[in-house]
Amino acid sequence: DRGPARVALGVPETGTVIGWVGRVSAEKGPDVVLKALEALPPDIMLCLVGDGPELGNVRALASALHLQSRVFSPGAVMGASELFRAFDLLVLSSRTEGTPMALVTLIVGGINGTLIGRLGLNSFVVTLGTLGIFRGISYLVTNGTTRSIDTGPLINKIGDGNIGPIP
């Protein structure tokens, strides 16, 4: 149910809401999503979740583009990943990131929520497994050249498929 998440973020309970989550800085591209919103139908809204050095400039740009009635900016929100369900679409507009943490959080949170909430599996085991799988996929996609997140040696071993006596 989107209702409680939308109320927590201060966005209307009905309508299409695009979500943007991150540190509000130039390299994250919040201006890119604002300029894109300008070209979209007027009933589509944007919720910018985060704080950072460019927040004032982003709010000024929203005003200059006459988008203030369509842009909601609650600032930094504790447990923001729990509120992703408020969004119809999550935008990643970063100019520099290969694996944005918002995407990682969305994937891990969505998988964990399904396995724990719907199937009743142990939360520790599910989280450990999800991080291991994500780590392994990142390793495969990047051909082993990058590490997406510093998950620690145990998770790295699981993600690389090297734990215990099983290679």
Selection from 23, 8, 73 nearest residue 46 by Cα: 73
Summarised one tens digit per residue, pLDDT across range 12-55 is 999 999 999 888 999 889 999 999 999 999 999 999 999 999 99
Query: Residue 161 is encoded by which pair of tokens?
Result: 């498929």
User: Mind listing the pLDDT tens digit for each residue in 55-74?
Assistant: 999 999 999 999 999 999 99
Tell me what pLDDT residue 84 has: 83
Tell me how many degrees the CA angle 16-77-104 measures, rounded to the nearest 5.
Answer: 75
DSSP the chain: --HHHHHHHT--SSSEEEEEES--SGGG-HHHHHHHHHTS-TTEEEEEE---TTHHHHHHHHHHTT-TTTEEEEES-TTGGGGGGG-SEE----SS-SS-HHHHHHHHHHHHIIIIIIT---HHHHHHHHHHHHHHHHHHHTTTS--SS---HHHHHHHTT-BTTB-
Q: pTM of this prediction?
A: 0.64
Question: pLDDT of 105-157, one tens digit each?
Answer: 666 666 666 666 667 777 777 767 766 766 666 666 666 655 545 545 544 45
